Structure 1
């Protein structure tokens, strides 16, 4: 029985990169929503932070949905 170490390493690397990217996006979204509360309302910075945070959450949801699609399909 032969073990294809290159394939195992590739799967490990892609899994690690995807995990770090998803956690990073979710963390950016959380930080954006947390800082939105302290931003001045009149400056419009709060709306920009909220939009960026929701975009990060949408990308996380899209990545999870794509993963489910790959598993189910």
Structure 2
């Protein structure tokens, strides 16, 4: 049995990068939602942090959907 170590390394690096990006985006989305609550409590509208959170969660969903597409196709 031969293992293509170069391809395995590429898969590992891409998977690690994807995990870091996806986790960071989700974390930024959660932070945006909490900042919205803080802004609303202080009397502001909180639409800026909410828009950022929505963008982060949308990008997360797109990355997950693309990953599922790659697996199925």
> TM-score, normalized by length of structure 2?
0.90
Superposed CA deviations along residues 14-66 of structure 1, whole A, max 9, x for unmatched, are: 00000010000000000000111111444x4x100000001000000000111
Moved over 6 A (4+): none
Q: Helix, strand or coil: the match of 2:20?
A: helix
- Counterpart mapping for 1:26-41 below 5 A: 26-39=26-39, 40-41=42-43
Across the aligned residues of Structure 1 and Structure 2, the Cα RMSD in angstroms comes to 1.1
Query: Unaligned stretches of 5+ in structure 2?
Result: none
* Pairwise CA distance, 1:2: 2.1
More helix by share: 2
Query: Unaligned stretches of 5+ in structure 1?
Result: none
